[in-house]
């Protein structure tokens, strides 16, 4: 492997950002941040505790209750969001280097993250300016109209896969709506989140609107979820963590939006465009190192083409280039953290008893052994996986795929729906009626027909079953971060029964 690239001016100390200032934890607590290529610490980050979350929420609450941001006209807020988008694009090269260094994501896949993050801010800037609310009139009787008001302080908890871009998914609509926020980024990957403070400051976002608290889920995250002055929690992450957050939010009847785990099926029928299905299903599970919530990690293939599909798929998987994330030729980089690597490798070993190993199955042979040489896993393909196998049922979140045959449409649907998850599904067929009917019946929040992960920001994003609660995207995001207050005005005479009136009592007696 070539010499490991380290970005220039790499910070060695990451602080919280509260009320417009970088600060350490009140009690001085820190945690180490690892570089996935060497698994060695490169920085210490302030580790948020309850006191730090309290300070961040207080700053956000002050900015919401007394600051200008929630009271600005939509166009004024939009202009700030446009400047944020421009600043993000200007950081593209720096961001890609930091994101790759911190996550192990291949540099070619990190390069598009800044543009996607910027587009989120532009999209919601446009949306709040174009937005209109309902008004209803009964001539001569009444008029009703709706006031849309930001709810307050939003708690945003984000994952470690493509962290900067996924942070923008939550930051853009919450800030656009007029909320103030406290962001708790994932502890494995806090580096790129540290860029937001300067970007927001330069764009003119008032102090206190954006606050950042680094830390562990069980301390900083838990304190944020339980804080009485945080009425909204938006969380992306693993399903069991989502269940814990759900329980903790119940005490305060908080609003929740949660995009959770997935074990998404890709269903390939015999009449599919074979080459396109191969390309898409390979990319769908091995891009982003397999560390993606919508990965098509179960491939269901009709028996007529099953043997051919498995052979071609395995050969392509064996040719995927695994190596240093900063090498432009790399297609699969290092997994984010040794803890996650151990989890994925546990499933790889389990899979050897649950399926027929066609490719991968361990660390790539061309890379030096040892944890100090990075958390690398060769793209791993198991065939003939039974539907009750753990590698069929459980989210692995790595470059591991299970392939299972089916004969009929009914069997394919039963297999597709046969897990607790329901985030995404991918259907490959040239039969238009089958495609639309299958999409209707499959238990998934999102379905892609003959494509993968091409998304319009206006459309809902979210899952069903154990894959999520609620949807974001377009106006659904604005709805989550705002209250809709109905105002009623009478235009005519008011005819109200006069309870307790002597006149009404006399009429009744008569």
**136: helix, strand or coil:** strand
**Where would I find the beta strands (DSSP E) of 248-351?**
255-259, 265-268, 298-302
Q: How far apart are the first and last CA of the chain?
A: 100
Q: Please say whether the beta carbons of 133 and 478 come within 8 A.
A: no
Cα 189 to Cα 212: distance, rounded to the nearest angstrom: 14
Tokens of 313: 């798929």
Cα 128 to Cα 5: distance, rounded to the nearest angstrom: 41
Q: Please say whether the beta carbons of 6 and 100 come within 8 A.
A: no
Concatenated DSSP letters of 4-65:
PP--TT--SEE-EEETTEEE--TT--EEEEEETTTTEEEEEEE---HHHHHHHHHHHHHHHH
Active site residue 472: no
Cα 343 to Cα 352: distance, rounded to the nearest angstrom: 15
Q: How far is CA 220 from the centre of its chain?
A: 19
Cα 491 to Cα 137: distance, rounded to the nearest angstrom: 9
Cα distances from 111 to residues 98, 147, 288, 374, in angstroms, run 11, 40, 12, 21
- Classify residue 108 by burial, with Cβ atoms within 10 Å: 0-12, 13-18, 19+: middle
Pairing type for strands 135-138 and 380-383 reads unpaired
Q: Count of alpha carbons within 13 Å of 313, Cβ hemisphere only?
A: 33
Active site residue 249: no
Cα distances from 198 to residues 90, 160, 341, in angstroms, run 12, 21, 33
> Crossing angle, helix 74-90 and helix 92-103, to 10 degrees?
70
Tokens of 84: 């944020």
Q: Which of 29, 97, 99, 293 is catalytic?
A: 293
Q: Which of 99, 259, 291, 354 is catalytic?
A: 259
Query: Using only C-alpha atoms, what is the Rg of the chain?
Result: 26
**Catalytically annotated residues:** 259, 293
């Amino acid at each position: 492997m070539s010499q490991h690239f380290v970005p220039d001016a790499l910070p060695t100390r990451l602080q919280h950002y509260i009320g417009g200032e970088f600060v350490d934890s009140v009690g001085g607590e820190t945690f180490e941040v690892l570089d996935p290529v060497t698994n060695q610490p490169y920085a210490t980050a302030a580790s948020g505790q309850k006191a730090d979350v309290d300070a961040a929420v207080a700053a956000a609450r002050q900015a919401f209750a007394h600051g200008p941001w929630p009271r600005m006209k939509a166009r004024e807020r939009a202009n700030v969001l446009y400047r944020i988008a421009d600043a993000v694009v200007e950081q593209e090269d720096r961001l890609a280097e930091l994101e790759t260094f911190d996550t192990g994501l291949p540099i070619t896949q990190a390069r598009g993250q800044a543009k996607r993050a910027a587009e989120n801010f532009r999209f919601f800037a446009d949306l709040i300016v174009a937005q209109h609310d309902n008004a209803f009139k009964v001539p001569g009787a009444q008029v009703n109209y709706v006031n849309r008001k930001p709810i307050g302080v939003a708690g945003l908890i984000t994952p470690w896969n493509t962290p900067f871009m996924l942070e923008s998914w939550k930051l853009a609509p919450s800030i656009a709506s007029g909320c103030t926020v406290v962001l708790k980024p994932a502890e494995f990957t806090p580096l790129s989140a540290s860029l937001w403070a300067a970007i927001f400051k330069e764009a003119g976002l008032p102090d206190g609107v954006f606050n950042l608290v680094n830390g562990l889920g069980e301390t900083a995250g838990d304190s944020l979820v339980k804080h009485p002055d945080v009425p909204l929690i938006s969380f992306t992450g693993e399903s069991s963590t989502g269940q814990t957050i759900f329980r903790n939010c119940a005490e305060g009847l908080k609003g929740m939006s949660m995009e959770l785990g997935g074990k998404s099926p890709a269903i390939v029928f015999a009449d599919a465009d074979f080459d396109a299905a191969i390309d898409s299903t390979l990319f769908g599970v091995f891009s982003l190192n397999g560390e993606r919530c919508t990965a098509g990690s179960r491939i269901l293939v009709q028996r007529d083409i099953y043997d051919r599909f498995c052979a071609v798929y395995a050969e392509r998987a064996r040719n995927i280039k695994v190596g240093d994330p900063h090498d432009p030729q790399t297609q699969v980089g290092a997994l984010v953290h040794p803890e996650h690597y151990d989890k994925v490798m546990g499933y790889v070993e389990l899979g050897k008893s649950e399926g027929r190993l066609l490719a991968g199955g361990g660390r790539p042979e061309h890379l030096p052994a040892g944890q100090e040489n990075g958390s690398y896993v060769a793209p791993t393909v198991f065939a003939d996986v039974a539907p009750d196998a753990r590698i069929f049922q459980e989210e692995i979140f790595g470059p591991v795929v299970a392939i299972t045959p089916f004969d009929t449409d009914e069997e394919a649907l039963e297999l597709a729906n046969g897990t607790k998850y329901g985030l995404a599904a991918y259907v490959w067929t040239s039969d238009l009626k089958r495609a639309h009917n299958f999409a209707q019946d499959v238990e998934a929040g999102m379905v892609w027909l003959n494509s993968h992960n091409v998304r319009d920001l206006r459309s809902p994003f979210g899952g069903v079953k154990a894959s999520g609660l609620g949807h974001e995207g377009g106006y659904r995001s604005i709805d989550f971060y705002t209250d809709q207050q109905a105002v009623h005005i009478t235009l005519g005479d008011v005819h109200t029964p006069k309870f307790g009136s002597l006149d009404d009592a006399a009429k009744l007696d008569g």
